[in-house]
Amino acid sequence: MAAAARFFIRGANSKLSITAIGTGSQCSFGATLVKLSPSSNSRTKSQRRHAAHFTFQPDPEQTQYGPTQKMNLFQSVTSALDNTLANDPTAVIFGEDVAFGGVFRCTVGLRDKYGKDRVFNTPLCEQGIVGFGIGAAVAGATAIAEIQFADYIYPAFDQIVNEAAKYRYRSGNLFDCGNLTIRAPWGCVGHGSLYHSQSPEAFFAHCPGIKVVIPRSPVQAKGLLLSCIADQNPCIFFEPKILYRAAVEQVPVESYTIPLSQADIVQEGSDVTLVAWGTQIHVMREVANMAQEKLGVSCEVIDLQTILPWDVETVCKSVVKTGRLLISHEAPITGGFAAEISSSVQEECFLNLEAPIKDDQLLNPVSQLLVSLNPRLSTFLLRSSYQWRSARKRHFVDHPIRKQHPDGLHVPSVFCILKTVTSPLH
């Protein structure tokens, strides 16, 4: 087994040509993924798994917002920022290296178009960047701050949690920094290692007063980012960095918004609800297809989109319908946001549950640590989603979809929960 795994790792390395994230023209990991995916169709199944742990699935083109243009996720972010700078004279963008485009090219061309007083570099000081953003926002500017990686946001944790989130409350609504939006590249990328792979949404989800938003695609990214900017609360907007180049869609050129705190039902189904956000939505879509094909199970896939405050209603309504819930995220499972959803849903839908709620994640409880290990090992872990998918299958098998108990009685969910506790599998 170990030998086989090593073979996979090696195989992954020899076939992939993803380069590291960073400044300049060599920042092409996403492009490589895009390039790889068409050709990978002709490869065998096991080889295809090495290309990425997911396949990006674009949404059908939407025309209600006017003309569209082909954009990847970083371009759709640029487009949103462009619209904002054009429409809002008080908008300013600042962060490390944003003046010449940022390491992920999200702000390319904006300084030249709107001037260096509106799009400017800061020193390397995250706490200062956020504090400065709060100050600019409270004084009336639309402040859009970039933290270069979500992993670097921790020096600013105090400013976000104690200053930004509580400003309105502690001043009795006299002051607020609702005009502040913090953008940060987020999530795993394959070989980002310890400090370039983290998904810290759960840390912020514990803090009332801020909003946390994660898009799954270019169209969603633009609409949600514009909503965050317009929203009168400080927002953290996490951008799945693996999608920056890998995700391409027809994105409306003009400004439009997608409401916050509203989950999006990506695919309707009747047997089990799958909740995820960001990149993991694409994994879940694949799981849903597999479940349909292999097990005849109909999955409802929900993109939560806003982590805080989250859309309890949509999720619960779905669970009432399906009786089963599976939540999946990239972040560690212990204290992850899935636990919060799980707790709320069991409270609201206790009598509707047919099986214990399943929290899951891409890797494992110490995934953040594991991602830190050997870049090769983390590549392996990301590639191991085939195992992960079979894990999902296992879940379905353990808790077969049965609307009715054989005796014609409703299966009490407490039975399922007890079963979980005593099961050697858990």
Partner 1 sequence: MLTNISNVLRATAQRNGAVALVSARTYADFTTEASFEIKKCDIHKLEEAPATQVVMTRDEGLQYYRVMQTIRRMELKADQLYKQKIIRGFCHLYDGQEACAVGIEAGINLTDHLITAYRAHGYTYTRGGTVKQIMAELTGRRGGIAKGKGGSMHMYTKNFYGGNGIVGAQVPLGAGVALACKYLENNQVSVSLYGDGAANQGQIFEAYNMAALWKLPAIFICENNRYGMGTSVERSAASTDYYKRGDYISGLRVDGMDVLCVREATKFAADHCRAGKGPILMELQTYRYHGHSMSDPGVSYRTREEIQEVRGKSDPISLLKDRMLSNNMASIEELKEIDVSVRKEIEDAAQFATTDPEPPLEELCNHIFYNDSPMEVRGTNPWTKLKSVS
Give the binding site for partner 1 (CB under 8 A).
Answer: 1-2, 5-6, 9, 13, 16-17, 19-27, 96-97, 100, 103, 121-125, 127-128, 151-152, 154-155, 191-196, 333, 360, 363-366, 369-370, 372-377, 379, 381, 384, 387-388, 390-391, 394, 425-426
Which member of 50, 53, 126, 239 is catalytic? 126
- Residue 304 contacts residue 275 (beta carbons within 8 Å): yes
Q: Cβ(264)–Cβ(73) under 8 Å?
A: no
Distance, in Å, from the CA atom of 263 to the CA atom of 361, rounded to the nearest integer, reads 19
Q: Which residue lies nearer to partner 1 by CB, 227 or 379?
A: 379
How far, in Å, CA of 297 to CA of 309, rounded? 30
Q: Least distance to partner 1 from the beta carbon of 243, Å?
A: 18
How far apart are CB 281 and partner 1 at their closest, in Å? 19
Q: Do the beta carbons of residue 60 and residue 217 sit within 8 Å?
A: no
126 carries an active-site annotation: yes
User: Is residue 220 a contact partner of residue 251, using CB atoms and an 8 Å limit?
Assistant: no
Q: How far is the CB of 354 from partner 1 (least distance, A)?
A: 19
Instruction: Confirm whether 50 is a catalytic residue.
Output: no
Give whichever of 20 and 320 is closer to partner 1, judged by the CB atom: 20
Question: Which residue lies nearer to partner 1 by CB, 190 or 234?
Answer: 190
Identity of the residue, 6 or 206, whose beta carbon is nearer to partner 1 in the bound complex: 6
Residue 213 belongs to what H/E stretch? strand 211-213
The Cα–Cα gap between 337 and 300 comes to 19
User: Closest approach of Cβ 220 to partner 1, in Å?
Assistant: 27
* Main-chain dihedrals φ then ψ at residue 274, nearest 5 degrees: -110, 120
User: What does the block give as tokens for 74?
Assistant: 């970083």
CB closer to partner 1, 189 vs 308? 189
Q: Which two tokens stand for residue 317?
A: 């309504």
Identify the active-site residue in 191, 196, 282, 399: 196
Residues 6+ apart with CB under 8 A from 75: 218, 251
Closest CA to 182 of 208, 213, 205: 213
Instruction: Give SS3 for 222.
Output: helix
Task: Tell me the closest approach of the beta carbon of residue 311 to partner 1, in angstroms.
Answer: 27
Positive/negative CA dihedral, 397, 403, 406, 407: positive
* Residue 50 · residue 8 · CB < 8 Å: yes
At its nearest, how many Å lie between partner 1 and the CB of residue 364?
A: 5
Which of 25/44 has CB closer to partner 1? 25
Containing H/E element for 72?
strand 68-72
Angular region, 213: left φ>0, alpha ψ -120 to 50, beta rest: beta
The set of catalytic residues is 126, 196
